Every structure is written in C-alpha cells, then in structure tokens.
Amino acid sequence: MAVLISTSRALGHHRLRLLAATKRLTGGDCLGAAADLHLAAMTIPATYAAIITAAGRGTRAGAGLPKQWRSLAGQTVLGRSIAAFAGFPRIVVTLAPEDMAHGVAELSGPVTLVAGGATRSGSVRAALESLEGAGVTHVLIHDGARPLVSPRVIDGVVAALAAGAPAAAPALPVTDALWRAADGRVTATASREGLFRAQTPQGFALDAILAAHRAHPEGAADDVELAIRAGLPVTVTPGDEDNLKLTWPEDFARAERILGDAMDIRLGNGFDVHAFTAGDHVWLCGVKIPHDKALLGHSDADVGMHALTDAIYGALAQGDIGRHFPPSDPQWKGAESHIFLRHAAMLARQMGYEISNADVTLICERPKVGPHAGAMALRLSEIISVEPDRVSVKATTSERLGFTGREEGIAAIATVTLVKG
C-alpha cells in the first residue's frame, strides 16, 4: 500500500502559485529564471499532474548520496527536476521509504510524496493510485534523474495529450551506427531505421496508464512499454539532446557543462541630463560639436556617454557612474567620459558578458545631432570594443516642451544588451 505524505508547506497557505519564485527546494531556489520562463510559456490544464520518480538508489552513478539528492550547479538533481514542472497544479514525487523524512524536510511547494516500491513500475503505480479519484485526467511521468528537461519538451507532450492522444512521449531518432557485440568484439550490425531514444516525461490519460500498470504488474523498462502492451497508441514528440538521464559519474560533469553554457541575456537602461552653461561647444557621445553653449557637469558632461555607461552598469547590477567614480573625488573633475564608459565595458567582460548592441537617443532642440550621428556611433563602438553596426545613435526633440524644449539642457536615454554564454 502506498504511504502518502503531503508536505505541510505544500498543502497549506504556502501553496506555490504561477510565477511565484520564492519557494525553496534543496540547495537553492528551484523556481529560478528557467522555471519562470517555463510558466510564462505554457498553461497547464487544472486536471493535469506530474509524477517524478526518485525512489531509486542510483548505484551506477558512484558512491555517496543517491544521485537525486546530489548537488548539480548548486541545486539538487531532484530539486531541478521538480522545478521544471512548477506550473503543474499537482506534483507527485516517489521516494524510497528511507528517504521520506528527508523529503518532508527538504521539499516544498505543491509536492505530494509517495513511498515508492521495489521497482520503478511499482513506484509509478503507487503514484498513479494516489491520483485516482482526485479529479486528475492526465499525467506526465518523469525520471527525477533528468534535471535538464526543457519547457519545449514538456510543452510537446502536453500539447499532444491536449490534442487527444491517449499517450505521448519525447524521443530522439538514433543517428549512430548500431552494433551487436560479445566478449569485446563486434558480432553483427543492426539497422537504425525507425529507432528512437526514449526520454521523459511520458504523458498519458490517467485511467489508461493506471489500467495498464494493473494489467501488467510484472513491470517494464518504462511506461511507454506498458502502454504498448495495453494497446495504447503512443505519439512521439520532440526530444532534446540536453535532456540526459544522469546514470554514470561522468554524466554529472556533462550536465554541469550544459548548465554552464546556458545563455544569460541582460538589458540595461540609462538616463542622464545636463544643463547648458556658457561655452562654445558640447561633447556628445565622444564627438566635439561646436555650439553657442556648453554642458555643465563634474566631468566633461557627455550626456550620451553617461547614459550608455549607466545602462551597462545597470545591466550588470553594478550601480551607476557615481558608485565607481564619485563626484566627491576631485580626480574626476573634468574627466573625459570615455574613461567611465571603457571601465563599464571592461567590467562587463570581466563578468563574462559581451556587449551585443547599444542604442543611444539624445533629446534636444539644438545642436543638430543628425550630421554627427555616424561619427558618434563609431566613437562609442571604439570605446566599448564592438563592431560599429552594433551601436546606434539618434536624436529627437521634445516638441519645445520641458527643459529640453526651452533649450535649458540635453537629456539622453540609452539601452544596452549584454550576453553571456
């Protein structure tokens, strides 16, 4: 008989909500950026549930903790697997009986823990039976040792079930040559035509897959095999090479590399204003432009370059120019603004980011920016070390409104994109 335990945090007033990213699973925040993107990308029907199997011991993965409890880039393997299904209204996790106390202490959110059986099939059947009569119509069954499953893979299975398929599962076509071998020697070749590598989650109508488990208590390698025995048609949905199952010790290193290669895109905005004062020229985006006034500032008052500098610092969550070059420090009096911008660009690279593009808009009535926009973009690209076609400088007026309309000063807005990975 299944032992059913609902974590106190799971079913109380702390129930996980869509896009709520504050709950914690073992080793860190399970609902990080990837989970948030997942939730934003798909709507899970209220009658769908996810089952995550984690009752095995994972002895092939080496000595130490069972693989589902091991850390992977600062978060447990099981925590990452659960996070991938954060949009599901019901998540059932199967654990070995000796791990139940650990699970109650470590897992939070709408997670129901079920004591697993002696085999994977036994564990899945226990989880399925816990959902019977609970208003669940469809279930996705996922290996807890596949922590890198993507929203696209999950979406594919959900979409197939929603379209009427009684069963659906992701897979990848076999592309390598296949051999048969014995005693370290190749004994024959085998055709790869029509062969696929199975992945999870595997989705089913709940009543159909539960009936298949009950009809075949001997179990199977996976739930698709039981579905086929029961005569259920199974739709193949797109798999993902990164959706690997952690089986051997070296698989952890591969998963770490995949996580390390994940792209991190950041956007930053900067805004700056400088008033006019007496003078005969202004510096805008590194270009000296003759004018009947100058811009007032602690440095050379290059309002466009200051806005772009702050945009980079902002994307990095590193404050603004004033944090790095305090106006109270006399050494920066009259400093050329390229010093600040170059520092921001270097800091971005030190933190592992490349500048993908930069866009600066100058807001003023005069001087006219258009004749100098190309030279400004070129100068900025030189300072931040990117190709000129990745920098844009343009201008607009405020239709004679406000301080810029009264020609009391110039404002600038800048946006920058930083990319890591």
Where does the pLDDT of residue 60 fall: very low under 50, low under 70, confident under 90, or very high at 90 and above?
Answer: low
Instruction: Name the token pair of 304.
Output: 């466009």
Give the range among 67-71, 220-224, 295-299 with minimum mean pLDDT.
67-71
Domain boundary assignment for the chain: 4-260, 264-420
pLDDT at 109: 65
* 38 pLDDT more than 60: no
- 118-143 pLDDT, tens digit per residue, is 899 999 999 999 999 999 999 999 99
Domain 4-260 has CATH 3.40.50.970: no
- 5-19 pLDDT, tens digit per residue, is 444 333 322 222 222
pLDDT at 75: 83
pLDDT at 160: 97
List the one residue out of 91, 109, 135 whose CA is nearest residue 24. 109
pLDDT at 316: 95
* 262 pLDDT more than 70: no
Residue pair 307/271 in contact (Cβ under 8 Å)? The answer is yes
pLDDT at 87: 85
pLDDT at 9: 32
The CATH architecture assigned to 264-420 reads 2-Layer Sandwich (3.30)
